[in-house]
């Protein structure tokens, strides 16, 4: 396939899905880096994926029922992590890792006797972004707008519980659109790329890294028939390295400290 032969009906909704994910994940990723809980996204995303698996085992066929199951699982995970941070804050990152591995292995156990379990698990991890249709993005777009408004309006006043709940809802939406791997990359990679830039430039540059990574990954995956999710992750990482290398060596003193957020 050539660039000229690309089908916009395929790449269009996939790119829009990526843009919706980035709308909330870039600012939330800054909060994650500032709070020092980098692996919370993997944990919550894996819990949401576990909810999808449970919904499938319960024969939930309606999309809203699957979304509700994933959201309920993610919110329960958010409450759990809120409690562990309050109870044992000094080992919160380790506790997040334990929650992640329990959710991941729980998924393996639930799918152990499913003949299509391996394929289903792969789809949840790497995503099926090229199969997204425009009509599937209506509800996620509305939910993303609400979450993004809350994140930007109250980003400097988000308490522990409010942050975890918003995070859980955002991840619930994105994990079914792009998969666990891209959820993590969309949250963390843009923030790492801009951590030494002046505070006022971090957000637009971080969004540019995200948009560029998704656009390049989707285009190259169609041309060379490679897995889109994995390729987008690599494009995000490469672009982040370039942007970081082209930026200042250290954050400027007049700006907020590195990782303080956007």
DSSP structural state of residue 90:
G
Q: How far apart are CA 200 and CA 160, in angstroms?
A: 25
- CA-nearest of 219, 171, 197 to 47 is 171
Provide the residue-wise pLDDT of the chain in tens; the chain has 262 residues: 444 545 677 889 999 999 999 999 999 998 888 877 878 878 898 898 898 888 888 877 677 778 888 889 999 998 998 899 889 988 888 898 999 999 999 999 998 888 777 777 777 777 789 889 999 899 899 999 999 999 888 877 777 788 888 988 998 889 888 988 999 999 999 999 999 999 899 999 999 999 999 999 999 998 888 999 999 999 999 999 999 999 887 754 444 444 445 5
Place of tokens 């199951």: 69
Q: Which residue has the tokens 């995503």?
A: 127
DSSP letters, 104-168, are HHHHHHHTTT-TTHHHHHHHHHH--GGG--GGGGHHHHHHHHHHHHHHHHHTTS--HHHHHHHHH
Domains in the chain, ordered, with CATH?
8-246 (1.10.3470.10)
Compute the distance between CA of residue 91 and CA of residue 211 in angstroms, rounded to an integer: 34
pLDDT the model gives residue 185: 94
Tell me what pLDDT residue 37 has.
Answer: 80
Angle among Cα 172, 65, 121 to the nearest 5 degrees reads 55
Cα–Cα dist 83/117, whole Å? 32
Residue 229 CB partners (closer than 8 Å, separation 6+): 126, 127, 128, 129, 178, 179, 181, 182
The CA-based angle 227-100-211, given to 5 degrees, is: 40
């Amino acid at each position: 396939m050539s660039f000229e032969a690309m089908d916009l009906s395929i790449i269009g909704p996939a790119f829009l899905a990526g843009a919706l994910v980035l709308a909330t994940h870039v600012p939330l990723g800054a909060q994650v880096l500032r709070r020092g809980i980098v692996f919370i996204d993997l944990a919550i995303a894996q819990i949401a994926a576990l909810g999808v698996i449970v919904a499938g085992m319960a024969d939930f066929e309606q999309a809203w029922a699957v979304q509700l199951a994933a959201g309920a699982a993610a919110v329960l995970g958010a409450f759990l992590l809120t409690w562990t941070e309050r109870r044992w804050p000094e080992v919160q990152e380790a506790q997040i890792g334990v929650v992640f591995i329990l959710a991941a292995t729980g998924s393996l156990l639930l799918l152990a006797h499913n003949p299509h379990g391996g394929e289903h698990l792969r789809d949840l991890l790497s995503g099926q972004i090229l199969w997204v249709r425009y009509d599937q993005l209506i509800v996620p777009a509305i939910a993303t707008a609400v979450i993004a408004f809350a994140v930007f309006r109250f980003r400097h006043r988000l308490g522990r519980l409010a942050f975890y709940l918003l995070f859980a809802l955002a991840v619930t939406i994105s994990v079914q659109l792009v998969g666990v791997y891209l959820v993590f990359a969309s949250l963390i990679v843009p923030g790492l790329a801009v951590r030494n830039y002046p505070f006022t430039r971090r957000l637009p540059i971080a969004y540019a890294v995200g948009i560029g990574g998704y656009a390049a990954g989707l285009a190259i995956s169609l041309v060379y028939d490679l897995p889109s999710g994995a390729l987008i992750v690599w494009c995000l990482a490469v672009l982040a390295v370039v942007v970081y290398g082209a930026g200042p060596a250290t954050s400027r003193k007049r700006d907020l400290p590195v990782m303080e957020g956007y």
